């Protein structure tokens, strides 16, 4: 991997802009981070204003990859009117194995428009072409059908299903593991 790595922002796609977070994102982020349905399969509970502010501070600072565990976090906004529609990240899981993980959470008010698909394609471009990752993974609760559909839509492959491998929000959860390799991605 190409470290340290700080992306040139914004990254612009046909309908969206991936940019750094800023303090003014608090209210639009809270609008969907506070919804039980939106956070059902992500590793935190519905946010309060206070926990959202703490999380936003971290997002604002997550702009460079230097070492394992570092995150690059992006606000996804509409290029038409600037509305914040989603929140995505790339996490550096292994330097030795050049492996990144993707994560995403979109406002359901702007769902089913292909915004998440458009964004994840841009993240894969960045991961493979800019960061020079070898492998990008996604780890998804098997019950999270929209997220699994998204990974399949962008060409990620389900490589495993791990049965009840994590104690998650008060019950055992099974994981569908998705991955894509750099030589499988057209622009890498
Ligand atoms: C996972 C998540 C991002 C998927 O959102 P989504 O709205 O289904 O995804 P997209 O924005 O890419 O929209 C795709 C849908 O819009 C449709 N669509 C409409 N216009 C489209 C376009 N121009 N391009 C692609 N798809 C389009 C697709 O057909 C698809 O619908 P379908 O699933 O009925 O086939 C969303 O459900 C979410 O944020 N969930 C909560 C957080 C979460 O669970 N994160 C994952 C943790 S692992």
For residue 26, the number of C-alpha atoms closer than 13 Å in the C-beta half-sphere is 10
Three-state SS string over 14-49 comes to: CCEEEECCCHHHHHHHHHHHCCHHHHCCCCCCCCCH
Using only C-alpha atoms, what is the Rg of the chain? 16
Mean pLDDT of the chain, nearest integer? 97
Look up residue 21 and give its two tokens: 């977070």
> In ligand 1, which atom is closest to the CA atom of 111?
7
168 lines ligand 1 (CB under 6 A): no
**In a 3-state reduction of DSSP, which class is residue 2?**
coil
Pairing of strands 84-94, 99-106: antiparallel
Which residues have a Cβ under 8 Å from the Cβ of 176 and sit 6 or more positions away?
A: 139, 140, 141, 142, 148, 158, 160, 161
Nearest CA to ligand 1 atom 34: 112
Average pLDDT over residues 10-22: 98
Q: Is 109 close to ligand 1, i.e. is its CB under 6 Å away?
A: no
Chain segment 82-130, per-residue pLDDT in tens:
999 999 999 999 999 999 999 999 999 999 999 999 999 999 999 999 9
pLDDT in tens, 172-183: 999 999 999 999
pLDDT tens figures, 122-159: 999 999 999 999 999 999 999 999 999 999 999 999 99
Which is the closest atom of ligand 1 to the Cα of 112?
Answer: 16
> Does ligand 1 have an atom closer than 6 angstroms to the CB of 16?
no
Give the number of C-alpha atoms closer than 13 A to the C-alpha of residue 69, restricted to the C-beta side: 0
- Of 37, 112, 156, 158, the residue with max ligand 1 atoms within 8 A of its CB, to mutate for a pocket test, comes to 112
User: How many CA atoms, within 13 angstroms, populate the side-chain half-sphere of residue 43?
Assistant: 6
In this prediction, residues 59-64 reach a mean pLDDT of 97
Measuring from atom 30 of ligand 1, which residue has the nearest CA? 112
Residue in 39, 114, 152 to alter for ligand 1 test, most ligand atoms within 8 A of Cβ: 114
Cβ of residue 143 lying under 6 Å from some atom of ligand 1:
no
How far is it, in rounded angstroms, from Cα 131 to Cα 95? 11
- What's the CA-to-centroid distance between 150 and ligand 1, angstroms? 6
Centre a 10 Å sphere on the Cβ of residue 177 and count the other Cβ atoms it contains: 17
| Cβ–Cβ < 8 Å for 134, 149 | no
Rounded Cα gap, residues 115 and 24, in angstroms: 21
pLDDT at residue 188 is higher than 70? no
């Amino acid at each position: 991997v190409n470290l340290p790595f700080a992306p040139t922002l914004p990254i612009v796609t046909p309908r969206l802009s991936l940019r750094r977070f800023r303090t003014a994102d608090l209210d639009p982020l809270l609008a969907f981070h506070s919804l039980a349905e939106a956070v059902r399969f992500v590793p935190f509970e519905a946010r309060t204003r206070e926990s959202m502010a703490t999380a936003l501070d971290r997002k604002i600072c997550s702009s460079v990859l230097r070492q394992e565990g570092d995150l690059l976090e992006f606000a996804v906004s509409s290029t038409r009117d600037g509305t914040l529609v989603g929140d995505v990240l790339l996490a550096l899981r292994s330097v030795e194995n050049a492996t990144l993980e993707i994560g995403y959470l979109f406002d359901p008010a702007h769902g089913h428009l292909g915004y998440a698909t458009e964004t994840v394609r841009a993240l894969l471009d960045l991961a493979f072409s800019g960061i020079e990752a070898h492998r990008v993974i996604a780890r998804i609760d098997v019950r999270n059908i929209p997220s699994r559909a998204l990974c399949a839509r962008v060409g990620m492959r389900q490589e495993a299903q791990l049965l009840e491998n994590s104690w998650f929000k008060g019950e055992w959860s099974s994981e569908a593991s998705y991955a894509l390799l750099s030589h499988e991605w057209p622009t890498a």
